[in-house]
Amino acid sequence: MKEDDIWAYAEEHSSPEPPLLSGLNRETNLTQVYPRMLAGHMQGTLLRMISHMLRPSRVLEIGTFTGYSALCFAEGLAPRTPGDNEGWGVHTIEVNPEQEKIIRKYFREAGAEERITLHIGDAMQIIPGLGLTWDLVYIDADKPNYLAYYEMVFPNVRTGGFILADNALWDGKVLLSHAKMDKDAQGISAYNDFVRSDNRVENLLVPFRDGLMIARKL
Ligand SMILES: C[S@@+](CC[C@H](N)C(=O)[O-])C[C@H]1O[C@@H](n2cnc3c(N)ncnc32)[C@H](O)[C@@H]1O
């Protein structure tokens, strides 16, 4: 059995991509230089499932791109309660201001503007000013900074909260010797090593798509 066939079978036997997300997927492919950065049908469904399972009140996403994964997280949010006003929803950070138009267009079309706050700017600068406690953090931006993001958000993740990191296998380059790795692979590799040895979390590297590192704060 070929891996591609298995993947195709899995995709055929999963719920189809919702029309709004498939429209965003199509527009991303038509208009963006690196459309592969988008989560896409299968990963997006996994993130949406995780969000539905956790029912988070506050989600931080680092790396919005065209907004696909932010829309997936937004679907599983816990209902807003009167005590939840402070920062409730998905906060997503994108450094590239050219993305703003398409992101806002799809947040609007999805009716998700109340549930998602878009921050345009460098996550390194924005995160310290947010001052919120997170149920779920998704790291999906510049790879050399993965570990810096982890350290930065960790004190503000609640006990029992989760930190997910995408591209944890980086196209298999994490298996190379350190000398042969590029800066991105080194960043991911350092992240995986650190999380694995961090006794403040339980972790699982899921070899799904390009790898998803899941850490649960103890
Ligand atoms: C892999 S894409 C995100 C994909 C998106 N999460 C999804 O699944 O559809 C990474 C994004 O991170 C953004 N990015 C890179 N460095 C960043 C930084 N320092 N702060 C905020 N965003 C950054 C890039 O511009 C890019 O749009």
Give the other-Cβ count within 10 Å of 148's Cβ.
16
Q: CA 167, CA 119: separation in Å to the nearest integer?
A: 22
Ligand 1 atom at minimum distance from 70 CA: 6
Percentage above 70 pLDDT, the chain: 100
DSSP code, position 25: H
User: Which distant-in-sequence residues (6+ apart) come within 8 Å of 37 by Cβ?
Assistant: 65
- Contact between residue 174 and residue 188 where contact means Cβ atoms under 8 Å apart: yes
Single-letter code of the amino acid located at 176: L
* Residue 38 binned pLDDT confidence (cut-offs 50, 70, 90): very high
Does pTM top 0.95 for this prediction? yes
Q: Is 96 in the pocket of ligand 1 (CB under 6 A)?
A: yes
pLDDT digits (tens, 9 = 90+) for 79-117: 998 877 679 999 999 999 999 999 999 999 999 999 999
Q: Is 21 in the pocket of ligand 1 (CB under 6 A)?
A: no
CA dihedral 125, 129, 135, 139 (to 10 degrees): 0
CA of 66 to the centre of ligand 1 (A): 9
Average pLDDT over residues 139-155: 98
Average pLDDT over residues 20-43: 97
- Contact between residue 74 and residue 115 where contact means Cβ atoms under 8 Å apart: yes
